[in-house]
Amino acid sequence: MQNVSKLEVAEEQLDWAIRLLLDHNAPAPAITLAGAAEELFGRPLKAEAAFRIVMETVPKKLHMDPKTYSQKHLNYTRNWLKHWGDKEDGHADIDLYAEAVTLILRALANYIPNTKALSNEALRFTKWLPKYFQSA
């Protein structure tokens, strides 16, 4: 048995999300790992967590219910990958690669304030990112 830190676990999840996306072209598991990391990194930040800031700002500007905005926009793909709804057939049109990039960026937005640093994988992702946007 070992003593583990949730922030260390979140960093490992984020690093693996990046590896899965960049090295293995596996966006689906990258999405779920980055989503888990985003939540763990966001918890200590409380009101300063990126997700919370977005949720307090964007739905108001769009005149949209915050829960609807979260479920149908921000977390739709991550939740779709994790859960099978009663009224769905198991198929959806999703740009998994773009969703993985987005969730990794969301996790990084909470990772950096917690650690004041970048892991080697996070640094590699930030260097790779301009190439992705040029090709998209």
Model confidence over 13-27: pLDDT tens digits? 999 999 999 999 999
Give percent above pLDDT 70 in the chain.
Answer: 100
Lowest mean pLDDT: which of 26-40, 76-90, 91-105, 109-123?
76-90
136, pLDDT greater than 80: no
What's the average model confidence in pLDDT over 21-43? 98
Global pTM reads: 0.92
Q: Please, what is the average pLDDT of the chain? A: 95
Task: Please give the C-alpha separations between residue 87 and each of 15, 74, 82, 91, in angstroms, as whole numbers.
Answer: 34, 20, 15, 11
